[in-house]
């Protein structure tokens, strides 16, 4: 009997220009475009196996070995439905193909890092899920087309379909058909940039991104300013910096955007705090490290950024990494940094079908 099973893995991505706010909560359409770097490293990945079988009674999903409910009309159900719809289109064109679109699927997903600790587990999770079903169904879809589906699982997931430097263009259509991820540059374009992650805390975060950003949309006036006057220019400027491999500009914009994201969180009613005292002390350390370098006639040497949690991600040219790790360990002996060597391939989500 034929076995239809595919496994895919997807890495975490860390935004330099933050996505924070939805204009459509069902389709997950953002209030601004965003841009991220996909970390390509073994420690921060989701790996998902999907299997279709005519004997399965319903779609089921396990996350790190624990079964999760697939709620009707929820994000998981939407992604599975959309991928089955694309499979059906393929089957209609080629009647010799097995009718996998009519079978239920069993999906098992694992993260090799703490879930929901501000390390974007939903991004790699939904990207791996979409990539594994796309591989199972042998869909002729590009990463950008698949990003339209991953976006409906979790906004930031659409960017993990690519490796390297990736933009999520907000789009303008109400059906979301132009709100997708595009590659700005592959990883190999700028291999010198590395990411250092300082796990300040691996506790589950207090306010989820989903509910936090909705509260910000409803209550923050600063967010309106950010959407209209700040992000469009920053998207252009950081894309140019990446293309020119200009670390100085990349670092400046990344730190400014992290600061503004946390400012709009604070401008939310009631206010949201994602960073803690250790996070802020790491900012002070990087600011001082850069100041000393610039005062001596040098350049910015590192950039910090924080998502919806207290953990720091520090981007830096490779030559500065050792110094930064030493600096951090010196001031925060309790911190646990783990270096992202970034891999050489910079691939996004990738899946493989096993047929037996
Ligand atoms: C701060 O993608 O987790 O990491 O679309 O509601 O699932 P949902 O939100 P999510 O938000 C990520 C927010 C962020 C910034 C970013 O990754 O751009």
Residues with CB under 6 A from ligand 1: 15, 18-20, 28, 34, 120, 122, 154-156, 209-210, 307-308
Cα 163 to middle of ligand 1, angstroms: 17
The two tokens of residue 302 are 């590192």
Average pLDDT estimate for 266-284: 95
Query: Whose C-alpha lies nearest to ligand 1, atom 6?
Result: 210
Pocket test for ligand 1, best of 115, 166, 209, 279 (most atoms within 8 A of CB): 209
Query: Whose C-alpha lies nearest to ligand 1, atom 4?
Result: 307
Whether residue 244 is predicted with pLDDT greater than 90 in this model: the reply is yes
At residue 347, the pLDDT reads: 39
Structure letter (DSSP) for residue 68 = E
pTM for this model (two decimals): 0.93
- 286-298 as b/e, with b when 16 or more CB fall inside 10 Å? beebbeeeeeeee
DSSP reduced 3-state for 325: helix
Distance, in Å, from the CA atom of 241 to the CA atom of 250, rounded to the nearest integer, reads 6
Pocket test for ligand 1, best of 156, 157, 170, 268 (most atoms within 8 A of CB): 156
Q: Which atom of ligand 1 is nearest to the CA of 122?
A: 3
Q: pLDDT (tens digit, 9 = 90+) per residue, 71-81?
A: 999 999 999 99
Cα 57 to middle of ligand 1, angstroms: 33
Q: pLDDT (tens digit, 9 = 90+) per residue, 214-233?
A: 999 999 999 999 999 999 99
Whether residue 30 is predicted with pLDDT greater than 90 in this model: the reply is yes
Q: Which residues contact 319 (CB under 8 A, 6 or more apart)?
A: none
Query: Whose C-alpha lies nearest to ligand 1, atom 14?
Result: 307
Four-residue CA torsion sign, 310, 150, 11, 259: negative
Average pLDDT estimate for 6-24: 96
Would you place residue 356 in the very low, low, confident or very high pLDDT band (cuts 50, 70, 90)?
A: very low
Cα 193 to middle of ligand 1, angstroms: 23
Backbone torsions φ then ψ of 130, nearest 5 degrees: -65, -45
Contact 338, 295 (CB under 8 A): no
Distance, in Å, from the CA atom of 178 to the CA atom of 30, rounded to the nearest integer, reads 11
Would you place residue 339 in the very low, low, confident or very high pLDDT band (cuts 50, 70, 90)?
A: very low
Cα 306 to middle of ligand 1, angstroms: 12
Q: pLDDT (tens digit, 9 = 90+) per residue, 46-58?
A: 999 999 999 999 9
């Amino acid at each position: 009997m034929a076995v239809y099973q595919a496994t895919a893995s997807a890495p975490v991505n860390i935004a330099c220009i933050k996505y924070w706010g939805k204009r459509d909560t069902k389709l997950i359409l953002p209030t601004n475009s965003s841009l991220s770097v996909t970390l390509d490293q073994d420690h921060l990945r989701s790996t998902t196996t999907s299997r279709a079988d005519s004997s399965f009674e319903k779609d089921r999903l396990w996350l790190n070995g624990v079964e999760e409910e697939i709620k009707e009309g929820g994000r998981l159900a939407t992604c599975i439905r959309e991928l089955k719809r694309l499979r059906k289109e393929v089957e209609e064109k080629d009647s010799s193909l097995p009718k996998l679109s009519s079978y239920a699927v069993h999906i098992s997903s694992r993260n090799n890092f703490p879930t929901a600790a501000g390390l974007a587990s939903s991004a790699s999770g939904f990207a791996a899920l979409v990539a594994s079903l796309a591989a199972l169904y042998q869909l002729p879809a590009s990463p950008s087309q698949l990003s339209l589906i991953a976006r409906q699982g979790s906004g930031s997931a659409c960017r993990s379909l690519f490796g390297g430097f990736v933009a999520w263009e907000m789009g303008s259509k109400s059906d979301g058909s132009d709100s997708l991820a595009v590659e700005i540059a592959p990883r190999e374009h700028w291999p010198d940039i590395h990411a250092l992650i300082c796990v300040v805390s691996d506790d589950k975060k207090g306010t989820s991104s989903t509910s936090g950003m909705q509260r910000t949309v409803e209550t923050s006036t600063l967010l309106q300013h950010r959407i209209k006057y700040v992000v469009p220019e920053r998207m252009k400027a950081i894309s140019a910096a990446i293309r020119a491999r200009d670390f100085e500009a990349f670092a400046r914009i990344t730190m400014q955007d992290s600061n503004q994201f946390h400012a709009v969180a604070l401008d939310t009613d009631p206010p949201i705090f994602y960073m803690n005292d250790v996070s802020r002390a790491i900012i002070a350390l990087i600011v001082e490290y850069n100041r000393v370098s610039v005062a001596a006639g040098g350049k910015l040497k590192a950039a910090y950024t924080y998502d919806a949690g207290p953990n720091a991600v520090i981007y830096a040219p490779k030559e500065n990494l050792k110094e930064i790790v030493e600096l951090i360990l010196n001031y925060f002996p309790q911190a646990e940094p783990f270096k992202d060597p970034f891999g050489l391939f910079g691939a996004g989500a990738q899946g493989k079908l096993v047929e037996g």
